[in-house]
Amino acid sequence: MCQMGPEFTDVKLTRCQHGCFHLFMGKTTIHMTPAELLAVACEVNRALGVIEPDDGPNASDTPDAPHTPRWSSN
């Protein structure tokens, strides 16, 4: 099981004045665009088993369409 300190139980998400988001986790702040936040949300849902792999931001309306990545985790 993952061992996390108490500093990671304090998590807050706020919208900044530039229309992006700040994710506060303990002493760490992550600045994300709306698209990056959506990508993170999709990955969290996928990890929790809530959505299928093809339901994320790369999903297509037609199942035979070629896969075109719209974001990168780099």
Closest by Cα among 68, 2, 69 to 39: 69
Q: Does the residue 62 lie in any domain?
A: no
For the chain, what is the domain count? 1
Residue 22 structural domain: 11-49
pLDDT at 46: 86
Q: Does the residue 59 lie in any domain?
A: no
Residues 3-58 have pLDDT tens digits of 666 656 788 999 988 899 999 988 889 999 999 999 999 998 888 886 555 555 55
56 and 44 in contact (C-beta within 8 Å)? no
Q: Does the residue 54 lie in any domain?
A: no
How far is residue 20's CA from residue 22's CA, in Å, rounded to a whole number?
A: 7
Q: Does the residue 30 lie in any domain?
A: yes
How far is residue 8's CA from residue 45's CA, in Å, rounded to a whole number?
A: 19
